[in-house]
Structure 1
Amino acid sequence: MTRPEVGYLLPTRDQAVHGRHEPKRLVAQARRAEALGLDAVWAGDSPVTRPRADPLLVLAAVAEATERIALGTAVLLPALRHPILLAHQLATLDRLSDGRVIAGVGGGFPNPHTEAQFAALGIEFGTRISRMTEALEIMRLLWSGDEVSFRGAHFDFRDVRLAPPPARPGGPPIWLAGSGPAALRRVARHADGWLPYPIDPTAYAADLAVVESVAARPITPALYVTLCLDDDPDRARERLRVSIERYYNAPLEFVASIQALFAGTPGEAAARLRAYAAAGARHLVIRTATDDHEAALEEFADRVLPLLRADGSR
């Protein structure tokens, strides 16, 4: 089994839920994640539905405060932004970080809260997927460094060149979220990586086989997963419930039916993550369900990360 890379989701949403708006504290956590040997830090996006600090601005600060760690968005919603501006921001961030950016993107989960977010920004919710796929095509064109033109269903422009170009030729890798037949086909057609959250490793392996059977390029298989660690599994489950229902404003049972969640001991968590790695996951994006994110990061790095690193080789 190939040892997976491991990333940490900065708690931008959790800060907002608790009414604490301390972006410098997020930057300090990113520095600590790098010092603890993690491979990436990630930041989520939702300006209205689940508001939090802007992910690209947070990651720009992290880029200056770190040296090695990759910087990812988990996930950014391209349909909410004009692709010329988004391509410009990501290219500049890639320059600031010396080529460490991963553009994790998604269409937005279909529910009334997400629809309200699109409505607030004057964007028709039903167009979000076609807007996103056009945006991905446009960003790659602009990241070429050439003067480009585009005419599509949503965007139309002539003779545009971005400066600065990204640090890497072709720009940051694009990792696309999503499960289900249509989403998997989009991953295969448009993405460099896949960032889903299937509820079990068997489902993950089956979906990955679909992606790899039709992908036009090599795909990095990743996983977004929420962990709540406690030596008492019952207490871990109750803490997970509180965190998830506060974060998503939805019952734990509903979120658990669609998203990878785990509550239990560090050893059990490592075993669960190794099962996803055995199913093909090569990068794990870890979100901790907790009220103390600094302590949870330390606990994960001390008690789970060594168990993940002990198996396999890179």
Structure 2
Amino acid sequence: MSTVEYLLPTRGIVASSTSTTELTARASADVVGLARRAESLGYDGLWVGDSVLAKPRFEPLVTLGTVAATTDSVELGTAVYLPVLRHPVHVAHMTATLDQLSGGRLSLGVGVGVRPPEREEMRQLGVDYERRGAMLNEALTVVSRLWEGTAIDHAGDHYRVEDAGIGFEPARKPPIYVASAAFEPSEGFPRQIQRRLIEHGDGWLPIAMPPEEYAAGRTYIAELLEGTDRPNDAITPGYYLDVVVAESEATAIERAREFYRDYYGEQVAYRSEQALSRAEIRKRGAFGTVDAVEERVAEYLDAGVERFVVRFPAGDQRRQLRAFSSVAETVL
């Protein structure tokens, strides 16, 4: 049975608040309040995004710590965390702490950042943008070893530690979900993502991928694992699904288009007419009436999605939460 998990609007509240007072109020209402609301509606998890400079938002692990303290049992996740913006020792320490304090609820979705503002963000933080994929893979090796709780030595191309240990293990080793936006059925994934999936992936979390392409990606991952000692079903198939429920598909897509323009600002990838076309928006998820959204979600289920991380690219988060909960009850 597939799970449905909700992405909290930790960027949206920062981007749209006009004062510190307003932001403080919305932190309570639209992070803590929405987290509690989603749990009460039966959502299985709560996720947050990440950025330091490129897309200002609340720090993800601190946010999830607060969410953990105000919820009972929902899963917690990052969609997606950018480990290369921090040293892997810090990443291991923070994530193990959060997992302990939440009782073993953390899933770590990871990525590298692909847009121009993220390139500038990495430059300012001293990260080589062109080598970020290899850096992430090595960072995950260090983090996974540190999660074992004993001191380690590591001398790699990007990180060196000697007799380093955080002193404890997470309550449950957080499953690592590998994000991807690039997949070509005839060519597969880029080389670094292939390595990340094989060596570190407990789950797959793509975005902007229509159901038929998603199914091809699942098949490709199974083929990747055939040459390893891991079973073909070792990687849980997730999907980052954008949803807007409205009276028509046209209305839903226009609301999503407006959201993307506001959310991504001057980022070239979301300023082009092609990227904002109906076809390009539609492949990101499910848009339209309840019946249309149910049909689209069913297509992703048929393609093999087992874990939906749902973002509502619209302003009325509470209405969308409620509407989609009925979709989940019907389809899932």
Pick from 160, 173, 176 the counterpart of residue 175 of structure 2.
173
For the Cα contact (< 8 Å) 1:198–1:204, is it kept in 2?
no
Unaligned runs of 5+ in 2: 184-188
Per the alignment, residue 153 of structure 2 pairs with 149
2:99 counterpart of 1:94 = yes
Give the aligned partner of residue 306 of structure 1: 329
Indicate the structure whose relative CO is greater, using CA pairs within 8 Å and at least 6 residues apart: 1
Q: 1:21-43: per-residue Cα shift (whole Å, max 9, x none)?
A: 33222022111111111111100
RMSD after superposition = 1.7
Aligned residues: 303
Looking at structure 1, the residues matched to 74 and 243 of structure 2 have their Cα atoms a distance apart, in angstroms, of 21
Which region of structure 1 is more displaced relative to structure 2, 155-164 or 78-87? Answer: 155-164
Instruction: Give the alignment partner of residue 214 of structure 1, picking from 221, 224, 240.
Output: 224
Segments of structure 1 that go 5 or more residues without pairing to the other structure are 310-314
TM superposition shift of 1:185: 4.4
Task: State the Cα deviation string for residues 190-248 of structure 1 (Å, max 9, x = none).
Answer: 21000001431000010111111122430010000111110222221211111111112
Equivalent residue for 2:186? Answer: none
Please list the CA deviations of residues 74-124 of structure 1 after superposition, one character each: whole Å capped at 9, or x if unmatched. Answer: 000011110000110000000011000000000111x32111111121211
Do 1:106 and 1:177's aligned partners in 2 also have CA atoms closer than 8 Å?
A: yes
Question: Residues 23 and 53 of structure 1 are in contact (CA less than 8 Å); yes or no, is this contact kept in structure 2?
Answer: no
- 8 Å contact kept, 2:148–2:168: no
Residue 167 of structure 2 corresponds to 163
Deviates more, 1:202-211 or 1:232-241: 232-241
1:291 is paired with a residue whose SS is: coil
In the TM superposition, residue 158 of structure 1 has moved relative to its aligned partner by 0.7
Determine helix, strand or coil for the equivalent of 2:81.
Answer: coil
What is the letter of the counterpart of residue 47 of structure 1?
V
Structure 2 counterpart of 1:275, from 292, 295, 299 = 299
**After the TM superposition, which residues 34-183 of structure 1 pair with which residues of structure 2 at under 5 Å, given as runs?**
34-109=39-114, 111-168=115-172, 171-178=173-180, 179-180=182-183, 181-182=189-190, 183=193
> How far, CA to CA, are the matches of 2:223 and 2:33 in structure 1?
41
- Percent of paired sites with the same residue: 36
**Aligned residues of 2:274 and 2:280 also touching (Cα < 8 A):** yes
SS of the residue corresponding to residue 133 of structure 2 reads helix
Distance 2:111 2:200 in 1: 12
TM-score, length basis structure 1: 0.92
Q: Does the aligned pair in 2 maintain the 1:199–1:257 contact within 8 Å?
A: no
Letter of the 2:79 counterpart: A
Q: 1:285 aligns with which of 299, 309, 314?
A: 309
1:226 alignment counterpart? 242
Q: Which moved further from structure 2: 68-77 or 216-225?
A: 216-225
Q: Kindly tell me: are residues 131 and 159 of structure 1, through their superposed partners in 2, closer, same or farther at Cα, counting changes over 3 Å? A: same
